[in-house]
Amino acid sequence: QKEVEQDPGPLSVPEGAIVSLNCTYSNSAFQYFMWYRQYSRKGPELLMYTYSSGNKEDGRFTAQVDKSSKYISLFIRDSQPSDSATYLCAMGPGANSKLTFGKGITLSVRP
């Protein structure tokens, strides 16, 4: 089993839809969880950061962590075409205290 698995996508939704992006993981030592957003031909940027279990909300974005199920989610409400990007989950500390990234999912929001 891979340490971090992310839904492969791609995902296409109409503008205004609620989007759910998910990752599962196998390492119970992971304590902090991040979502990075990467626009085409750009570097990733941190979108959400959560420590341990629970929810965190920032505007239209909600990050959810369920450590008992080893499952994290990113919800996007009222999705906009500007949300079209690749979303990568990341978590740690892993081996050598480094972050482990999911493979990323490409989201397209249709006007």
Partner 1 sequence: NAGVTQTPKFRILKIGQSMTLQCTQDMNHNYMYWYRQDPGMGLKLIYYSVGAGITDKGEVPNGYNVSRSTTEDFPLRLELAAPSQTSVYFCASSSIAPTGELFFGEGSRLTVL
How far is the C-alpha of 94 from the C-alpha of 34, rounded, in Å?
A: 13
Q: Answer whether the bond into residue 10 is a cis peptide, omega within 30°.
A: yes
CB of 37 to partner 1, least distance (A): 11
Contact criterion met (CB below 8 Å) for 105 and 14: no
Cβ closer to partner 1: 56 or 103? 103
Check binding of 8 to partner 1 (CB under 8 A): yes
Interaction residues for partner 1, span 82-111 (CB under 8 A): 88, 92-93, 96-99, 101-104
Give the residue with the Cβ less far from partner 1, 17 or 61: 61
Task: Supply angle C-alpha 37, 50, 26, rounded to 5.
Answer: 90
54 binds partner 1 (CB under 8 A): no
Q: What is the spatial distance between Cα 42 and Cα 85, in angstroms, rounded to a whole number?
A: 10
Using the rule CB under 8 A, is 28 a contact of partner 1?
A: no
The least distance separating partner 1 from the CB of residue 53, rounded to whole angstroms, comes to 16
